[in-house]
Structure 1
Amino acid sequence: MTGQPSRELTRRERAAIRRLVTDLCANHDNQDRLCLPLDCPCYMLQKWWTGSFCRYFQEAVLPVDPALESAITGEDTSLKQKTCPVCGKAYLPTTSQAYCSDSCRAFARRKSERERKRRIRQNQR
């Protein structure tokens, strides 16, 4: 959170946070509803105000939902998004990631290798 004043979360934001935590958070135990590293109830499921968030949630889980991330943090996440040159899907890159998935990366690699080998064959004639 970058200097934005704390505000109450809306019902939709709380529901989206709950859904993300229960579905995607690797630290959440669905059976006991506990945060595994802290061995206590998950902090994010009891969240009513913006402000401090679980670091793992903010770095690993929240970027999955760019609309929720921009609503909570107040930062425009669309500037961080890239478009995959193979399939055209928008995604949030990690480091210098050029493609949205491994299958798109493999497709682009095969295509560039085909073109390179075609140029080599044409130069040998």
Structure 2
Amino acid sequence: MHKLDPIERLPDGSLFRLTPGQLRSVRGLTKRCCNFLDGDCLLLDGVCPQYISRSLLCRWFRRAVLPQQPKLEQAILSPKKLRRCKVCGTGILARSGRAKYCPACAKEVHRQQKAKSDRKRRSGVDNSGSKSP
């Protein structure tokens, strides 16, 4: 199986899934594709995969046709759950409202936070700055 470019997949490796409204808009745009003829793709000599799919499959559609509708492209390619890691800037799918880091950076950041907390606890100084008895 040919691997799709990372930009054509979500950070977790899955394909972009279309909502019913986006699907209607994409099917309308598919009909305006230069390779589309009566439900068939001229490049593939068969059924157009973009027209029958609920995800963003066709690379030609993604790069040549979808940019004609910038709002639709933004809605599909930038889902609300997609965020950037605060450390490295890679795209992550937020599973909660508190997600800030990609899995690789989260491990390191949490290790540093725990070390800082342990140093503070061992120093015997509370938050007010006075020594505890």
TM-score between the two structures when normalised by the length of structure 2: 0.47
Larger Rg: 2
TM-score between the two structures when normalised by the length of structure 1: 0.49
Higher helix proportion: 1
